[in-house]
Amino acid sequence: MVKGREADEAPARRAGDRGRYGRLSRERVLASALDLVDRDGLSALSMRRLGAELGVEAMALYRYASSKDALLDGLVEALYLELEELLAAHGPASGWRAELDRIAAATYDVCLAHPQVVPLLSTRMLAVPLARRPLATLRHHERVVGLLQEAGLGADRTAAAFRAFTGWVLGYVSVELQAMVDNPEEPEPAFRLGLHHMPPQELPRLRELAPALAERGGPEGLASGLDALLERFTRSA
């Protein structure tokens, strides 16, 4: 018979070992969290809801994510792990510049597959110091820094180019995912975008450009901007 504290912990150990769909692991917990957020949004994510998805008590999940913030960091980790898998599936491109283009395009694809998680790629970086970020995130940083150094950039220019590369890719994806449609059921473009809510005297240029802004730039726009950015940093490297 298990007594005292061991008795209290035994159910959690048993629940933590096996859920409704088999043995738990950090990978399964994060994958389930990602599926939940993809389906119902970040606001739906909680330990209780995730436990219900996996068929365990919420307390059983704390061995895999010690808090709600740790679970959010886990979602960032899951995205970067998926990015690693996507990059590994096709092998590196020839040359540092082509490889940076490939990384940017793969990041675009992963982010558009998980749009509800994309805000965390920025917000969690505001809260988590560099050294405490998930290892998959740090491996991504290391890969990009290495490619920039391969281009012949010194330490200062590598740091500046790394910031610019990261800012461009994540910023571009964030703009691509911005909500633009006011009424999805409306076939008339102006009413679909809700332009009648925007005062024409104050916002004439924005109203005129709104239909074009509502169209995604796609990976071509990402690559074009990245080429211009890299040219700026490597012109005199």
Q: Tell me, yes or no, whether 5 lies in a domain.
A: no
Instruction: Classify residue 226 by its DSSP letter.
Output: H
Please give the pLDDT value at position 19.
Answer: 53
Q: Kindly report the CATH number assigned to the domain that includes residue 42.
A: 1.10.10
Residues 72 and 50 in one domain: no
Residues 32 and 76 in one domain: no
Please give the pLDDT value at position 237.
Answer: 57
Where among 22, 45, 66 does a domain terminate?
A: 66
Residues 97 and 214 in one domain: yes
Residues 109 and 224 in one domain: yes
Residues 123 and 145 in one domain: yes
Please give the pLDDT value at position 23.
Answer: 81
Please give the pLDDT value at position 22.
Answer: 60
Tell me the angle at which helices 96-113 and 135-150 cross, rounded to the nearest 10 degrees: 150
Q: Kindly report the CATH number assigned to the domain that includes residue 109.
A: 1.10.357.10
Q: Tell me, yes or no, whether 2 lies in a domain.
A: no
Residues 52 and 160 in one domain: no
Residues 133 and 175 in one domain: yes
* Cβ density class 123-148: b for 16+ within 10 Å, e for less: ebeeebeeeebbebbeebeebbbebb
Residues 186 and 218 in one domain: yes
Q: Tell me, yes or no, whether 6 lies in a domain.
A: no
Q: Tell me, yes or no, whether 1 lies in a domain.
A: no
Residues 149 and 225 in one domain: yes
Query: Strand, helix or coil at 187?
Result: coil
Please give the pLDDT value at position 146.
Answer: 97
> At a CB cut-off of 8 Å and minimum separation 6, what does 50 contact?
29, 32, 33, 36, 58, 61, 71
- 161, 233 Cβ separation under 8 angstroms: yes
Residues 135 and 20 in one domain: no
Where among 42, 66, 90 does a domain terminate?
A: 66
Q: Tell me, yes or no, whether 4 lies in a domain.
A: no
Please give the pLDDT value at position 234.
Answer: 85
Our count of domains for the chain comes to: 2
Mean pLDDT by 10 residues, the chain (237 residues): 41 46 83 95 95 93 92 95 95 93 97 96 93 95 97 95 96 95 93 94 95 94 95 80
Q: Which structural domain range is residue 46 located in?
A: 11-66
Quote the distance between the C-alpha of residue 113 and its chain's center.
9
- 108, 219 Cβ separation under 8 angstroms: yes
